[in-house]
Amino acid sequence: MSQIFHRSTNTISRLTIYGAVFVVASLAWTGAAVQRSSYVTRQGEAREQVVPFSHQHHVAGLGLDCRYCHNTVEHAAVAALPPAATCMNCHATIQNDSPSLALVRESYATGVAIPWVRVHMLPDYAFFDHSVHLAAGVGCASCHGRIDTMEVVRQQEPLSMSWCLDCHRDPAQNLRPRLAVTDMSWDATRSSYDPHADPLRTRQPSPPQNCSGCHR
């Protein structure tokens, strides 16, 4: 009986199958790498605002506390953006004719909100509650970086699921005294703070690691 296919057909078939598996695996790895890249997460990206606002000047220079502008951060899921009235508490008399603050004055007069550009953005399917994290003693700088050194705010961390889970699995590394949550200069490496020995803590944080903890 004559052989229909050449003997090399078996080798070619094996190489084709192995090659297909390799290509699929490579595509999956590449897709995962792109998904975690700064191109997608926007890590390190600084975004100019419609009104030039220097956190370095206001926080480090003038000593403003984060909660002065983001006044809902301790009792709400969202850290509110300041209305023009908050800005005008100072700028009604300080630089009250500056061209760069024209939009602030217009917003204050008309009640139309300033269209601030969002820097830190989570997907709609990810739930994050600022108040819970501050109550647990997670400092602003843990997620937002040293805002007090930024002339233009950038996204310091990837804010990816794996990054969040790293903290949820070992939260102690990011915990500090609750009175120091907005202290940008607080340094865990130079502090002997032990959350387990803190008498002001009624219980130790046990952040969820299950899907429904963040995806609701």
| pLDDT the model gives residue 88 | 97
Long-range CB contacts (within 8 A, 24+) of 117-123? 117/47, 117/48, 117/49, 117/50, 118/47, 119/45, 119/46, 119/47, 119/153, 119/154, 119/155, 120/144, 120/155, 120/159, 121/42, 121/159, 122/159
Average of per-residue pLDDT values in the chain: 89
172 Cβ contact partners less than 8 Å away, ≥ 6 residues apart:
195, 196
**CB–CB of 197/191 below 8 Å?**
no
204 Cβ contact partners less than 8 Å away, ≥ 6 residues apart:
195, 196
Which tokens hold the place of 142? 């843990």
| Mean pLDDT computed over 87-94 | 96
| pLDDT the model gives residue 5 | 63
Compute CA distances 91 → 8, 63, 88, 95, 130, whole Å.
82, 16, 4, 6, 28
Give the span between the Cα atoms of 184 and 73, in whole angstroms.
Answer: 16
Per-residue pLDDT for 38 more than 70? no
Per-residue pLDDT for 14 more than 90? no
What's the 3-state SS for 77-100?
A: CCCCCCCHHHHHHHHCCCCCCCHH
Q: What is the pLDDT of residues 103-114, one digit of tens each?
A: 999 999 999 999
| Mean pLDDT computed over 27-44 | 69
In the chain, what percentage of residues exceed pLDDT 70? 90
To which residue do tokens 């002065």 refer?
68
**CB–CB of 166/209 below 8 Å?**
no
To which residue do tokens 């310091």 refer?
156
Q: What is the pLDDT of residues 115-172, one digit of tens each?
A: 999 999 888 999 999 999 999 999 999 999 999 999 999 999 999 999 999 999 999 9
Per-residue pLDDT for 3 more than 80? no
Q: What is the pLDDT of residues 182-213, one digit of tens each?
A: 999 999 888 889 998 998 887 888 999 999 99
| Mean pLDDT computed over 29-49 | 74
CA angle 93, 95, 96 (to 5 degrees): 55
| pLDDT the model gives residue 37 | 64
| pLDDT the model gives residue 210 | 94
| pLDDT the model gives residue 33 | 64
| pLDDT the model gives residue 152 | 96
